[in-house]
Structure 1
Amino acid sequence: MRERYAVETEKQDNVEPTPEDDNSNYIVEKVAVFVSWILVLILLPFSLCCCLTIAYEFHRLVIFRLGRIRSCLGPGLVFLLPCIDSFNTVDIRTDVVNVDPQEMLTKDSVSITVNAVVFYCIYDPINSIIKVDDARDATERISQVTLRNIVGSKGLHELLASRQQLSLEIQQAVAKITERWGVRVERVDLMEISLPSSLERSLASEAEATREARAKIILAEGEAKASKALKECSDVMSENQITLQLRHLQILCSMASERRVNVLFPIPLEIMAPFMDGKDSSDAAQDDDDRRDSDDDYDYLHLFSPKVYISGTPPDFFNDAQTDSTTEKPEVGKTTESVEENKPARSWLWPPFFRPSRSAQDGEQPTSSRRVRPQSGQPSPRSNRTDDAIEPYPLLTKPPARSSSPTKPSSIPIPPRPDHPSLPPVPPHPTLPPIPPHPTLPPIPERPIPPPKSTSTPPEKDPKVSKADKNYYF
């Protein structure tokens, strides 16, 4: 009982074992070592296969000789005596422990689910072997308990707001316990804090209300600053009207750039004063209205009727319109061809937009576009429109003769067309009988003989003279 208490006290206080050994155990150990060396020497070189082992860089070998800890060896080649030495391999790399999600209550009685991750490594292989059964499992269990204890002592808002501080507290608490096992806790992180759905909705609405209140405060502060700036700007614009007009134009430009907008911009009458004729009055405007009402449809007919207008000097082979209009009527004895040749040609006036402007000698102003209403007792200017206008070119009296259509028939008689040669009768079939007549239908009548054609030359007829095409235009 005293020895067991001494071992536990030694394990807890990390004190080296006492040099007092049992003499019997010591003698047995020395004898076993001697016999092992003899076997190794006898069985050389085959015994080397059982005596040598390799430890990797990230492994450490804890050697036990007859159940007692001898040393911690590695990395590299390690020599072991067969039958009396044994070893345990310890991995000194950093390992990860995933703490399973667990439900817990916070300080303000809110049920949440929390999971975490713990990063640790073994820095003392001997203590990790002799002071704990499984260092990995022990580290995971102590992390779960520490997490539950610390989360239960915090409020919900504190947990959500200071997760880094919570992770640091858990790391320090776990490291203080695992340090006796030769385990160093490097980091602890909270992966997720799950809240109930009802609590999530309430927190979201609270956060939304807080954000809206903050936004209204910021908007009110911005409007206050903008109103101060607008007041200063209005004071500057009130001193200069041009600045206000330029600002108006900038606003119109910004409106038109976003979408299609029709802007009705009023123009002061003072701007149009230089372009207006000072001599015009209301009487002149009334005269213009009366003149438009009294105009006939002469110009409108010229606009809608089809015409041919030719500009330039008339060619030599065209007849003059005035000469044709003064020709005398043909006599009774003349032929129809001569009558057609002496018939006056058709002509018309130039359209209004092709007529030259009248000069100042005719008593009208060439630069004025207004018409003067004729006074009583004076002839209308429309009556002299034909006299003042330039005569256009007349139409052709007769189209020229074409080579493909002669005006007179040829005097050479055309011989009659010969008869078609008669076909020989169809011979009967050598084997088939002739087709009998139909019992009810009448027989087919014979083909009548055409009358003989006369071979005399037909009398000559008066040649027809082709008339000029009235719709012929060039």
Structure 2
Amino acid sequence: MGNFGFLIVPLIVLVAIIAMSLRVLREYERGVVFFLGRFQRVKGPGLIIVIPVIQQMVKVDLRIITLDVPSQDVISQDNVTVRVNAVLYFRVVDPERAVIQVENYYAATSQLAQTTLRSVLGKHDLDEMLSERDKLNNDIQGILDQQTDAWGIKVTNVEIKHVDLDESMIRAIARQAEAERERRAKIIHAEGELQAAEKLVQAADMMKDSPAALQLRYLQTMADMSTNGKTSSVFFPLPIELTNAFQEFTGHFTQKRPDA
């Protein structure tokens, strides 16, 4: 036993070093390993060995990260001040660049998202912010994805959540919407009057070509008035032929009067 006593301490140190060197990375984790300060390789997932002191490892999560972009004061192209917030979804696709090219990729992406949100929305007016959110989301996502590509970051989606307006602007938009509804109502009413006038002209042309149609319409009007319980009406039928004869006599008398 005394012969092996001097081996106990080195053996304990060796076991401790091996225990400290063993690391377990989950399926969604990667380890960026540096050897004496220089990049060596990306390891994981599973069981890996990192030698203490000589090697250092930075763990990187590859899952999609949800980033809440704080409310930003934006002045639109038509000089309207609004407060806009959004949510950003991104993930790390290159752990090496995410660790080496940027100090803190989470904070850098957050600051870039805030400035991009203000700059993109400032190029549009208020109506576009309220009605074309899908287009604005795509524009912001494209700019962020292009700028974060050098950091090994992939922006998967951007969604504008709220566009907050002050009370005066809300009242102005309400008045504008009311005026628009009144304009549409007047146009619809005018179109209805135009269609009604066209139908009346067509009916007059048909009655002119067919005297029997005028007689039938005359009888229908008498029937409608007689069935109305609120009024009492007495009708004296007058033949259409007598009316036509009177019109012909009047026209003949008018034509001969200048010669007299």
* Structure 2 length-normalised TM: 0.70
Q: 1:209 aligns with which of 162, 167, 179?
A: 179
- The residue identity in structure 1 corresponding to 2:185 is A
- The residue identity in structure 1 corresponding to 2:198 is K
Name 2:89's counterpart in structure 1.
119
Structure 1 residues 56 and 265 mapped into 2: Cα distance closer, same or farther (>3 Å)? farther
- Shift in Å, 1:124: 0.8
SS across alignment from 1:89: strand
Name 1:59's counterpart in structure 2.
29
More strand by share: 2
- Shift in Å, 1:143: 1.0
Q: 2:111 aligns with which of 141, 152, 166?
A: 141
2-side partners of 1:233 and 1:169: how far apart?
A: 57
SS across alignment from 1:207: helix
The reply on whether 1:190 has 2:190 as its aligned counterpart is no
- The residue identity in structure 2 corresponding to 1:156 is L
Name 1:416's counterpart in structure 2.
none
Structure 1 residues 238 and 93 mapped into 2: Cα distance closer, same or farther (>3 Å)? farther
- Shift in Å, 1:262: 4.9
Query: For the Cα contact (< 8 Å) 2:93–2:154, is it kept in 1?
Result: yes
* Structure 1 length-normalised TM: 0.41
2-side partners of 1:69 and 1:252: how far apart?
A: 103
Query: For the Cα contact (< 8 Å) 2:70–2:86, is it kept in 1?
Result: yes
The reply on whether 1:239 has 2:239 as its aligned counterpart is no
2-side partners of 1:89 and 1:107: how far apart?
A: 44
Name 2:38's counterpart in structure 1.
68
Q: Deviation digits for residues 408-441 of structure 1, max 9, x if unmatched?
A: xxxxxxxxxxxxxxxxxxxxxxxxxxxxxxxxxx
SS across alignment from 1:199: helix
1-side partners of 2:171 and 2:125: how far apart?
A: 18
- The residue identity in structure 2 corresponding to 1:177 is Q
Query: For the Cα contact (< 8 Å) 1:40–1:48, is it kept in 2?
Result: no
Identical pairs, percent: 31
Name 1:273's counterpart in structure 2.
none
Equivalent residues in 2 for 1:332-351 (5 A)? none
- Shift in Å, 1:214: 2.4
SS across alignment from 2:57: strand
1-side partners of 2:26 and 2:219: how far apart?
A: 88
1-side partners of 2:31 and 2:105: how far apart?
A: 16
Structure 1 residues 90 and 247 mapped into 2: Cα distance closer, same or farther (>3 Å)? farther
- Shift in Å, 1:149: 2.4
Q: Structure 2: where are the runs of 5+ without partners?
A: 1-9, 237-260
Q: Deviation digits for residues 167-222 of structure 1, max 9, x if unmatched?
A: 33322322232222111122222222222211221222123212212221122112
Q: Deviation digits for residues 383-409 of structure 1, max 9, x if unmatched?
A: xxxxxxxxxxxxxxxxxxxxxxxxxxx
Q: Deviation digits for residues 62-102 of structure 1, max 9, x if unmatched?
A: 12233332211122222333453332221111112111112
Q: Which moved more, 1:103-112 or 1:87-96?
A: 103-112
Query: For the Cα contact (< 8 Å) 2:141–2:157, is it kept in 1?
Result: yes
Q: Structure 1: where are the runs of 5+ without partners?
A: 1-37, 254-260, 270-474
Equivalent residues in 2 for 1:326-405 (5 A)? none
Q: Which moved more, 1:232-241 or 1:184-193?
A: 232-241
SS across alignment from 1:175: helix
- Shift in Å, 1:47: 6.7
Query: For the Cα contact (< 8 Å) 1:58–1:93, is it kept in 2?
Result: yes
Structure 1 residues 154 and 242 mapped into 2: Cα distance closer, same or farther (>3 Å)? closer
2-side partners of 1:41 and 1:215: how far apart?
A: 89
Name 2:5's counterpart in structure 1.
none
Query: For the Cα contact (< 8 Å) 1:123–1:182, is it kept in 2?
Result: yes
Structure 1 residues 226 and 121 mapped into 2: Cα distance closer, same or farther (>3 Å)? same
2-side partners of 1:153 and 1:121: how far apart?
A: 28
Structure 1 residues 116 and 150 mapped into 2: Cα distance closer, same or farther (>3 Å)? same
Equivalent residues in 2 for 1:402-417 (5 A)? none
Name 1:130's counterpart in structure 2.
100
2-side partners of 1:192 and 1:239: how far apart?
A: 68
2-side partners of 1:100 and 1:252: how far apart?
A: 75
Q: Deviation digits for residues 143-182 of structure 1, max 9, x if unmatched?
A: 1112222333433344445433333332232223222211
Name 1:309's counterpart in structure 2.
none
Aligned CA RMSD, in angstroms, stands at: 3.6
1-side partners of 2:122 and 2:193: how far apart?
A: 47
Name 2:240's counterpart in structure 1.
none
Higher RCO (CA-CA < 8 Å; seq separation 6+): 2
Structure 1 residues 264 and 118 mapped into 2: Cα distance closer, same or farther (>3 Å)? same
1-side partners of 2:88 and 2:225: how far apart?
A: 64
Name 1:172's counterpart in structure 2.
142
More helix by share: 2
Query: For the Cα contact (< 8 Å) 2:226–2:232, is it kept in 1?
Result: no
Name 1:344's counterpart in structure 2.
none
- The residue identity in structure 1 corresponding to 2:212 is E
2-side partners of 1:250 and 1:39: how far apart?
A: 117
The reply on whether 1:79 has 2:76 as its aligned counterpart is no
1-side partners of 2:38 and 2:117: how far apart?
A: 37
Q: Deviation digits for residues 93-145 of structure 1, max 9, x if unmatched?
A: 11121111122323343222111222211111111112222211111111111
Name 1:306's counterpart in structure 2.
none
SS across alignment from 2:51: coil
- The residue identity in structure 1 corresponding to 2:174 is A
